[in-house]
């Protein structure tokens, strides 16, 4: 007997291990990804038929993230890549290991393409996932902020829009946020995935001193 919702389950079983196995099969995840929340012992009349347990369980992380992690692990194993995948911060999957550089690719292109394909795969689940690898996102974020300021400077100096390279959704957010406080600059996302990119527009087309130089 069980009562379930999307991220929790109450089972009547003979052991905690049985509860974890049943929940793992129901959710299609690993048994060690099932967390026991509470256990209530229910004894049968006169001790007949042994004891039964009411066990409340839930996944250790978001189900979409756990399934995506397992998918990536299988994919990397088929590709003979020596990496591990860990769920972090709910929607972030962190890839580490000897072959992590291969997964990142040149300028993060492989990681970006993999993230796009992964999100297409989980779109029906209603989730959106982000991929990281050994601090790449943090380094990329710093690089994007520098790129945004450079593009804004060029847009103001030249008096015309400056298009940037195609970016993932989270990368575009970094650029938008980096320039949101500059009154003389506007950022627009244009195009369709996976080629959607940002165009940096000067609000006034005449040449003027950029806001970066103001005191």
Q: Does domain 64-134 have CATH number 3.30.565.10?
A: no
21 with 55: CB under 8 angstroms? Answer: no
Please write the tens of the pLDDT for every residue from 91-121. Answer: 899 999 999 999 999 888 899 889 988 888 8
Interhelix angle for 136-158 vs 169-179, to 10°?
50
Cα dist from 38 to 8, 14, 16, 47, 80, whole Å: 11, 14, 10, 22, 40
What's the mean per-residue pLDDT of the chain? 86
Looking at residue 161, its pLDDT comes to 95
Q: Locate tokens 């009349």: which residue?
A: 45
Whether the model pTM is above 0.85: no
Match domain 137-209 to its CATH number in 3.30.1370.50, 3.40.50.720, 3.40.50.360, 3.40.50.970.
3.30.1370.50
3 with 13: CB under 8 angstroms? Answer: no
Looking at residue 212, its pLDDT comes to 45
Neighbours of 65 (CB within 10 A): 23
CA distance 57 to 12: 11
């Amino acid at each position: 007997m069980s009562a379930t919702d999307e991220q929790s389950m109450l089972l009547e079983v003979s052991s905690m291990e049985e509860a974890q196995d049943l929940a793992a099969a129901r959710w299609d995840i690993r048994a060690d990804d099932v967390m026991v929340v509470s256990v209530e012992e229910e004894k049968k009349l006169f001790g007949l038929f042994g004891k039964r347990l009411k066990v409340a369980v839930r996944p250790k992380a978001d189900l979409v993230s756990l399934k995506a992690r397992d998918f990536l692990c299988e994919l990397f194993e088929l590709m003979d890549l020596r990496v591990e995948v860990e769920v972090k911060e709910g929607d972030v999957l962190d890839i580490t290991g000897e072959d992590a550089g291969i997964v990142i690719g040149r300028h993060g292109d492989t990681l970006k393409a993999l993230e796009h394909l992964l999100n297409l795969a989980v779109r029906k689940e209603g989730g959106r996932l982000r991929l990281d690898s050994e601090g790449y996102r943090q380094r990329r974020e710093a690089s994007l902020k520098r790129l945004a300021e450079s593009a804004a400077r060029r847009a103001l100096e030249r008096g015309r829009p400056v298009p940037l390279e195609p970016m993932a959704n989270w990368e575009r957010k970094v650029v938008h946020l980096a320039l949101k406080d500059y009154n003389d600059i506007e950022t627009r996302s244009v195009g369709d995935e996976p080629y959607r990119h940002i165009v940096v527009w000067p609000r006034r087309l005449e040449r003027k001193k950029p806001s970066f130089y103001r005191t």
